[in-house]
Every structure is written in C-alpha cells, then in structure tokens.
C-alpha cells in the first residue's frame, strides 16, 4: 500500500450509512483492540487518540470504546466522526473529558494523526473495488505505529470479522464469535468484510480457510461434551497446522478462549484478477 500523502478534500468523503447501532455491539472488536494494541497505546508519548469512524445514529460505540481503551491506557481519548451532521448534533450531549464528536468522513478531520481508527460496519454498502482506496486513505492518516481496524458484525455483536491494517497496509484477519451461537465456523462467512465477502467462492483463499475450519470443527466434535470453548480451541489447534495463525503461547490461547482466531492477511488475500 502506497504511503503517498492524500490532499485534504473540501468536504467530507464518504456516504451516509444506515446508522444501525446497539449497546455492546462492538465489544468483541474493542476487547481485541485493547489486548493487542494496548502496548502501542501505552508507549505513546502523548495521550493516544482513537477514532470511531461512522459510529451511526447513536453514540454508544464511541462511549464504550473510550471505556475499554482507558482500561488498557487511562490517557486514551476517542473522537467519534460521522458524515451525517444530525448524528453529530445528537451525540454532542454525550461529550466529556476524552470524548468528542466531529462531522467528517474518510478524510478524518483531526489536526493530529490518530493511533487507532476503528471503522465497523461502514464499508458494507460500498463496492469491493472501492475498498483499497478507502483503506489507503485511512492508513495515510495513522500515526506511526497506528492501527486501522475495519470489519463487520451482526446487529448484537455475536459474530464479527475484521481486518487489521498498519500504515503499510493489511496485516491480519480476525474471526470472533459467541461460541454458544455457532453451528459451524463458516457461519461467520456472512460477516466477512467487504474486501472478502464476495471472495467466499471455490478457488479463493478465504473459502479454503473456512472449508478447512469447518473440517477441523467437525473432527473436534468429541470435545463438544466439554463445551463449545474446548471444541473451538481443539479445532483452532488443528487449523494452525496448515494456516498461519497469529499469537503464540499463553497470549494465543487467551484469544482463542474468547472465541477468536486471527490469520495473517497474505494467507487470505483475494486472488488477483
């Protein structure tokens, strides 16, 4: 991904989303961010700034992001950015120390470069061929060591898939679920982010990954008597033999126990053409 500077636009970049939001909808993503990106937040010389981009018709996700980031780094600040002015006006009464709301879009109209940009359920309405340009624009706004997290979840946050990107481009894909709601891992396919959802077809890496995950899940069926978590962890261990999963030792096991698995981006990147 190019590191070229993108000139600021004269008006917000992007389109208004449906605005659907619910309390705790993004808890899985937030907890992963706090765990994985927490060290970068703590290393920041200045108070780290995070952006909740396209927070929707209510400000709950921005409020919750601040709470969860401050558990990892008490100096954290969150800026909610929305392209719909009425949503910004409705959120302003919720502003407090470390939390503010601005009108804007993919240009991220801040004087400073944020250490985190979270864009959840924002790109689903866009065409697949628009995603790379949006990623590039957002990554260009990140501070050194910053992280962009872009993905999709269901309405109450039971199933979620996101891509994590650094200033250089995509790094990983994380699949997260409430294990008690899962029949098979490929149920998560409906929540693939826009860059991958149309690639869940034979011949594409993400399709092969979900196929292998389902096979590992089926092979781990005897562990179901110990609970869905033990079955998930057994399936993920088997999956790690053929796929480049991230996390090592106790850190990896801790994330798996949360109903997560993270795969290095190159293994799932769409085929060209």
pLDDT tens digits, 130-156: 999 999 999 999 999 999 999 999 999
Separation of alpha carbons 34 and 41, rounded Å: 9
Residue 5 lies in a domain: no
Residue 13 lies in a domain: no
Q: Where are the beta strands (DSSP E) in 56-195?
A: 77-82, 99-103, 116-120, 147-153, 159-166, 169-177
Residue 81's nearest CA partner among 5, 134, 16 is 16
Whether the per-residue pLDDT at 7 is higher than 90: the answer is no
Q: What is the pLDDT of residues 42-101, one digit of tens each?
A: 999 999 999 999 999 999 999 999 999 999 999 999 999 999 999 999 999 999 999 999
What single-letter DSSP state applies at residue 84? Answer: S
Number of domains in the chain: 1
Residue 270 lies in a domain: no
DSSP for 18-73 reads -----TTTTHHHHHHHHHHHHHHHHH-SSPPEEEEET--SSSHHHHHHHHHHHHH-
Whether the per-residue pLDDT at 11 is higher than 90: the answer is no
Whether the per-residue pLDDT at 15 is higher than 80: the answer is no
Residue 54 lies in a domain: yes
Residue 109 lies in a domain: yes
Residue 187: CB atoms within 10 Å: 15
Q: Which residues contact 125 (CB under 8 A, 6 or more apart)?
A: 15, 17, 18
**β-bridge pairing 99-103 and 116-120:** unpaired
Q: Cβ distance 167 to 260 under 8 Å? A: no
Q: How high is the pLDDT of residue 3?
A: 45
What is the domain extent for residue 126? 27-263
Residue 245 lies in a domain: yes
Residue 4 lies in a domain: no
Whole-number average pLDDT of the chain = 92
Residue 181 lies in a domain: yes
Mean pLDDT of 177-185: 93
Which CATH number covers residue 129? 3.40.50.150
């Amino acid at each position: 991904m190019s590191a070229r500077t993108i000139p600021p636009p004269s008006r917000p970049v992007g389109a208004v989303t449906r605005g659907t939001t619910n309390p705790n909808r993004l808890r899985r993503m937030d907890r992963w961010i706090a765990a994985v990106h927490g060290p970068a937040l703590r290393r920041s010389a200045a108070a780290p700034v995070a952006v909740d981009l396209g927070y929707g018709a209510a400000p709950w996700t921005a409020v919750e992001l601040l709470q969860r980031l401050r558990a990892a780094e008490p100096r954290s600040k969150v800026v909610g950015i929305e392209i719909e002015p009425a949503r910004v006006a409705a959120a302003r009464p919720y502003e407090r120390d470390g939390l503010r709301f601005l009108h804007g879009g993919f240009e991220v109209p801040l004087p400073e470069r944020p250490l985190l940009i979270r864009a959840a359920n924002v790109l689903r309405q866009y065409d697949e061929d628009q995603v790379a340009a949006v990623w590039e624009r957002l990554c260009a706004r990140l501070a050194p060591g910053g992280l962009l997290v872009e993905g999709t979840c269901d309405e109450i946050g039971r199933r979620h898939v996101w891509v994590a990107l650094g200033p250089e481009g995509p790094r990983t894909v994380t699949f997260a679920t409430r294990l008690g709601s899962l029949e098979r891992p490929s149920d998560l396919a409906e929540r693939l982010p826009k860059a991958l959802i149309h690639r869940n077809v034979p011949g594409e890496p993400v399709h092969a990954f979900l196929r292998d995950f389902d096979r590992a899940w089926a092979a781990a069926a005897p562990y179901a008597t110990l609970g869905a978590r033990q079955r998930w962890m057994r399936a993920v261990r088997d999956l790690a033999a053929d796929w480049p999963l991230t996390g090592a030792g106790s850190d990896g096991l801790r994330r798996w126990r949360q109903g997560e698995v993270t795969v290095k981006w190159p293994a799932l990147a769409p085929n060209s053409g």
